[in-house]
Structure 1
Amino acid sequence: MDRLLEGHKRFHDEVFPRKRETFHLLAEMQNPQYLFITCSDSRVLPDLILQTGPGDLFITRNAGNVIPVSTDEDGATATIEYAVEALKVKHAILCGHSDCGALKAALRKPDLELMPKAARWLGHVEEAFTHRQPLNPADGENAELVSLIKGNVIAQLANLHAQPSVARAVARHELTVHGWYYDIMTGNIDVYNEREDKFFPLLPPTD
């Protein structure tokens, strides 16, 4: 806990004073333009990756960046509904990432006897196998896993589009949906092109 307490002290003493006006404005309301749906993985830090600040992103996270399709209430779909209907976000970004533990488990089928809830949750990523992308030799020994993780982005995008609030907003041209794959090792993001059923770099190559 000492590390967290030290971090908060730096925030309180150094960061907050510089952004006091921003926080005072945000204290009364929020108006994010982006809904960011990603994994709970500790290595995926949206504000760091995108250099965003307070009030920019409305974020929901769970293991495997899943959008459940059951009719039961759940945190992910409730958050999406609120972001679209109440906050009127303009973009919904679903972001998977390399070395995802949920997709590793789906691929390798480890013994999850002591994690029955996690085992049931993995049922939400089974559709990823249907959408696996072609193996890329550049991914080396992780090619099969990367293929499946990207397949899960596609599968969860379909589930996102199926959410009633999302479907209505997209039909009204008030919301644009994006599928991303973030590579922890390189910091690169690939974006899914639905028309071509392929992922392409989000940024142009640098010299």
Structure 2
Amino acid sequence: MPYIAAGVVKFQNEIFPEKKKLFGELDTGQEPGTLFITCSDSRIDPNLITQTEPGELFICRNAGNIVPPHSKYTGGMTASIEYAVAVLNVKHIVICGHTRCGAMAGALNPDSVKALPHVDDWLSYARAAVQIVNETGKDLNDEDKMNLLVHENVLLQIQHLKTHPYVAAHLAAGKLDIHGWVYNIKTGEVDSYDEDQKKFLPVEERYAKQVALVAAELSEKAGCNH
């Protein structure tokens, strides 16, 4: 805790003054363009991975980056998704899984979470992905099976996400895009699902045109500042 407290002091004395204008603007409200749904795992830092500033991502985290299908029961994920889409009017939703995911390890080995009833119940929302892996990955070793589950779980949660009324409505109206990502903790690589090719591709390949446009804009701004 002393280390964390020292970090707060450093933020207040060194970081905040440099971003005072930004936080002044954020004080009046938020307009994030993206809802970023990812795992609670401490090794995942959405803003670091995407190099975004405060106010750009509306972040929701839980064990296993799970999105329960829409139902009459109100839950934290359901309420957050509804608010992000209906009120904040986000244009993109990212569901980001990651390698070495403890939640997916628990889903793949249910006996390991039997003593954790709430965790066990929560991981039931990944059960269909586990069934896919058990059926299609019979010949895989444990590591490859886990990797397959991480990817299949992202795709399953996208299906669940589409059952939420506001998400379905905004998708139908062409006002929303959904992205499935997997972050590799060891390498820093991020793969994104390509709906047309039905497979995950490196982000730099999946978004090649968009990345090039942003790079050109940044280069132009840098030139104007000189």
- Please, what TM-score do these two structures have when normalized by structure 2? 0.84
Per-residue deviation, 1:131:
4.5
Deviation at 1:130, TM superposition (A): 4.6
SS at match of 1:52: coil
Gaps of 5+ in 2: 207-226
Counterpart position of 1:157? 158
Contact 2:154 2:181 in 1 (8 A): yes
Q: Which runs of 5+ in 1 are unaligned?
A: none
Q: Displacement, 1:134? A: 6.8
Structure with higher helix content? 2
Question: Which residue does the alignment assign to 2:185?
Answer: 184
Q: CA deviation at 1:56?
A: 0.5
In structure 2, how many angstroms separate the alpha carbons of the residues matched to 1:13 and 1:182? 32
CA distance in 1, matches of 2:132, 2:196: 14
Match of 1:42 in 2: 42
Deviation at 1:197, TM superposition (A): 2.3
Asked if 2 retains the 8 angstrom alpha-carbon contact of 1:131 and 1:155, the reply is no
Taking structure 1 as the reference length, what is the TM-score of the superposition? 0.92
Q: CA deviation at 1:93?
A: 0.5
Change (3 A) 1:168 1:131: farther
1:193 corresponds in structure 2 to 194
Question: Tell me, what secondary structure is at the counterpart of 1:166?
Answer: helix
1:156-188 C-alpha deviation (Å, 9 max, x unpaired): 000111111101001111111110011101100
Equivalents in 2 of 1:175, 1:204: separation in Å? 21
Percent identity between the two aligned chains: 42
Task: Tell me the SS of whatever aligns to 2:58.
Answer: strand
Amino acid at match of 2:53: G
Structure 1 residues 127, 64: closer, same or farther in 2, change over 3 A?
Answer: same
Per-residue deviation, 1:108: 1.8
Distance 1:114 1:154 in 2: 28
**Structure 2 match to 1:95:** 96
Establish whether residue 31 from structure 1 lines up as the match of residue 31 from structure 2: yes
Whether 1:55 and 2:76 are equivalent positions in the alignment is: no
Aligned residues: 203
Structure 1 residue identity aligned to 2:159: A
What's the CA shift for 1:193? 1.7
**Aligned 1:1-16 pairs, distance under 5 A:** 1-16=1-16
Cα distance in 2 for partners of 1:130, 1:191 equals 22
RMSD of Structure 2 on Structure 1 (CA):
2.1
Partner of 1:172: 173
1:77 maps to which residue? Answer: 78
1:119 paired residue number = 120
Point out the structure with max Rg over C-alpha: 2
